[in-house]
Chain A
């Protein structure tokens, strides 16, 4: 069984990569976590973002969660705010789309227009 003792070792390791990871004004990823988002699978989407960012050792990025974004029928909704402040709102996000958003948008800087809320027909 894991214990919190191991957390001390992990702390040392984290300190070494800290300078790289925590830079002001980096990319922000915000996952909508209202009742609608949760019921639609937002928690798994958040989890996938955290796992991928950890596995790929992406730095200069913050993942947080926010409340209902008001477009419940299009949940899970994820807002990506680039370092320059540009916002992209992705809708109907699932675990499969997460690696794609990370690879294309966050790593390569190319917005995925086909997944944007603004591109969805009502």
Chain B
């Protein structure tokens, strides 16, 4: 994975595989705290303690199409190698919470990548019911919620290609603005 936005997409896919109805992602980018964190919370089927202990092992997967599961190990290692932190909590039938913290000025901290394209890919997932995204910097915040978008759209589907293109541009511009022009 080249950047944080790809990790974000990969982990959100896990949430949909766990039948999550709502997925909430919070990205916090703080120069003051020298910290970049990505947190994904879902209300999927969750995991018991035994499964939870196995998910960071690359040779564990629930999939039947292959024998390795690299998503979570990749994500964890990317954060730990910057001197950051990684935590995963889960409760069966309640959901799962994953948080990775990067040391912002560490050379191995991945760039943000194209968050707007990642959200677009999440929106076209037929399993997605509600997606909430918050981007927080030291000075500003950006909030996105598919429920708010749907309230405006009414009977027009979120997955209309014209609407998707608009939302991608809207998210991209908003993130760039609150990061002071950088992306």
Please report A residues at the B interface, Cβ cutoff 8 Å: 1-4, 6-8, 10-11, 13-15, 17-18, 21-22, 33-36, 38-39, 43-44, 46-47, 50-51, 53-54, 62-65, 67-70, 72
Contact = CB atoms under 8 A, between A and B. Distances in A.
B31 interface: no
Interface of B: 1, 6, 9-10, 13, 17, 63, 65-66, 69-71, 74, 114, 117-118, 120-121, 124-126, 148-149, 152-157, 159-170, 173-174, 177
Given A39-B1, A63-B161, A68-B65, A14 B156 contact: yes
Contacts of A3: 170
Q: Is the interface of B mostly helix, strand, loop or mixed?
A: helix
Contact of B152 (A1, A11, A33): A11
9 contacts: A2-B169, A6-B166, A14-B163, A35-B69, A43-B118, A47-B120, A50-B161, A51-B165, A68-B63
Contact of B6 (A39, A47, A54, A63): A39
A88 to B, nearest CB: 20
A65 B66 contact: no
B70 A35 contact: yes
Contacts of B69: 35
B1 A1 contact: no
